[in-house]
Structure 1
Amino acid sequence: MSSRQAKLQEDTYFRVMRILQENPDLTQRELAEKLGISVGGLNYCLKALMGKGMVKMKNFANSKNKFGYVYVLTPSGVAEKAAITHRFFQRKMDEYEALKAEIETLRAEVEKLAGEGNQKV
């Protein structure tokens, strides 16, 4: 995945699968709230994940969800989540390194400007 849109989509999939793995009986509304996205956007994402065979909806009588179902990761979903986790981690480390370099550049600029401001003409 190379396009910005594809990366954002993968990040959303990762976050959805991560939360579902820990809390499979969240309602769509609760899950959307945790993710900071609309319920419609989450529904679209869940349908895509189900279409790819990574998540399935399962009837579960003890679910707090009033419709009595939970979202669970399939074995292929667990494997894909592991691969996505690795890519997500690498992307965040790359962003961190780039941000760290930018901070050092800005720090040097500020120090230079502060030094120039102390010189009297």
Structure 2
Amino acid sequence: MVCNPHHTENTHFKVLRLLEANPQMNQRQLSQALGVSLGKTNYCLKALLDKGMLKVHNFQNSKRKLAYAYLLTPAGIAEKTALTSRFLQRKMHEFEQLKSEIESLQQEALQTRPITTQPH
């Protein structure tokens, strides 16, 4: 299986963005928010932890035995900023391509006249 680097980058961006806003999101909630499997979410979190982008804080006094917070490290914040910039550049490029395609289709629609038949 070949992994698209943009897809992985987009997933990392979305994870960092979600966890920055809500560090106490559990893996199941994160998986649902991303629209990916729990296994893929776990794999992504492990990759970000291994790269030093995230750290895990365990709440000892929590009523839930497995209460964690995923906190962005300074490296994670810097990476999120870089990912945001690249994500925005890709989306702007996609927008320009779509805009051009829409304009082309509109011109084509204006030039194409429906053929009508005359009654006999």
Global fold match (TM > 0.5) = yes
CA RMSD between the two structures: 2.2
Question: Structure 1's 65 and 106: CA in aligned 2 closer, same or farther, altered over 3 A?
Answer: farther
SS in 1 for 2:57: strand
**Percent same amino acid among aligned pairs?**
50
Q: Does 1:91 align with 2:90?
A: yes
Structure of greater Rg? 2
SS in 2 for 1:71: strand
Question: Structure 1's 58 and 91: CA in aligned 2 closer, same or farther, altered over 3 A?
Answer: same
Alignment-derived partner of residue 19 in structure 2:
20
> Across the two proteins, how many residue pairs are aligned to each other?
117
Give distance in 1, aligned partners of 2:8 and 2:87.
11
Give distance in 2, aligned partners of 1:105 and 1:80.
37
Alignment-derived partner of residue 68 in structure 2:
69
CA displacement at 1:32 relative to structure 2: 0.4
CA displacement at 1:63 relative to structure 2: 6.1
Q: Aligned partner of 2:82: which letter?
A: A
Report which of the two has the higher share of helix.
1
Question: Structure 1's 103 and 92: CA in aligned 2 closer, same or farther, altered over 3 A?
Answer: same
Q: Aligned partner of 2:56: which letter?
A: M
SS in 2 for 1:101: helix
Comparing 98-107 with 4-13, which one deviates more in the overlay?
A: 4-13
Alignment-derived partner of residue 40 in structure 2:
41
Give distance in 2, aligned partners of 1:77 and 1:109.
47
- Where does the alignment leave 5 or more consecutive residues of structure 1 unmatched? none
Q: Is the 8 A contact 1:63 1:69 kept in 2?
A: no
SS in 1 for 2:4: helix
CA displacement at 1:62 relative to structure 2: 6.4
SS in 2 for 1:21: helix
SS in 2 for 1:67: coil
TM-score by length of 1: 0.87
CA displacement at 1:74 relative to structure 2: 0.5
